[in-house]
Amino acid sequence: MQKKLQLLTGAHIALWIATAAWAALSETGLVPTDYAAPSPETTYALDMLSIATAIGGGWAAMRLLSLEYVRRKIADAPLPAALAAYGRWASLRLAVMGLALWYNVAVYYACTAHTTAAYCLLIAAGASLFCIPSVKDFEALRSNNGKKP
């Protein structure tokens, strides 16, 4: 159990490192920046998608383990199956947060004249801190009959 949760935590940390590396390489000029000059309509669409991925993705990832279906799947299953279910749902949370982080960092460095993606990147990064898998969350889901404290 501990090994699987450490692997999930390591994947979460790797997501942060990859995002930070992408930003650092873009800031130093090793990766091209400001390569897109979108029209005002495209800028509006990119900004709205940035907001949707940051706020919607962050909210969805943070609330995923609170869904009744997910709580019951983890609480009612035997320990190995519950751990596997928790791993699947934690991986889905990681994928949602990865999409939000990487989309916003890509849009920000593609057209740096607009700062909406930068703010949305900060929102998504903050939300991802609340999605780190832990033994405490897993045990709380198991011990409270599927109700997260």
Average pLDDT in the chain? 89
Q: Percentage of the chain with pLDDT > 70? A: 96
Cα 101 to Cα 122: distance, rounded to the nearest angstrom: 9
The whole-angstrom distance between residue 49's C-alpha and the CA centroid of its chain comes to 15
Q: What's the pLDDT at 135?
A: 87
Q: Which pTM was predicted?
A: 0.85
pLDDT at residue 96, rounded to an integer: 95
pLDDT at 147 over 60: no
Question: Does residue 111 carry a pLDDT above 90?
Answer: no
Q: Is residue 78's pLDDT more than 60?
A: yes
Residue 60 in this model has a pLDDT that exceeds 90: yes
Long-range contacts of 5-9 (CB under 8 A, 24+ apart): 5/133, 5/134, 5/135, 5/138, 8/87, 8/90, 8/91, 8/94, 8/133, 9/132, 9/133, 9/134
For the segment 122-145, the average pLDDT, to the nearest whole number, is: 87
The whole-number average pLDDT for the span 89-97 is 94
Question: Among 47-61, 85-99, 110-124, whose mean pLDDT is lowest?
Answer: 110-124
Of 149, 128, 112, 114, whose CA–CA distance to 58 is shortest? 128
Structure confidence at residue 145 (pLDDT) = 58
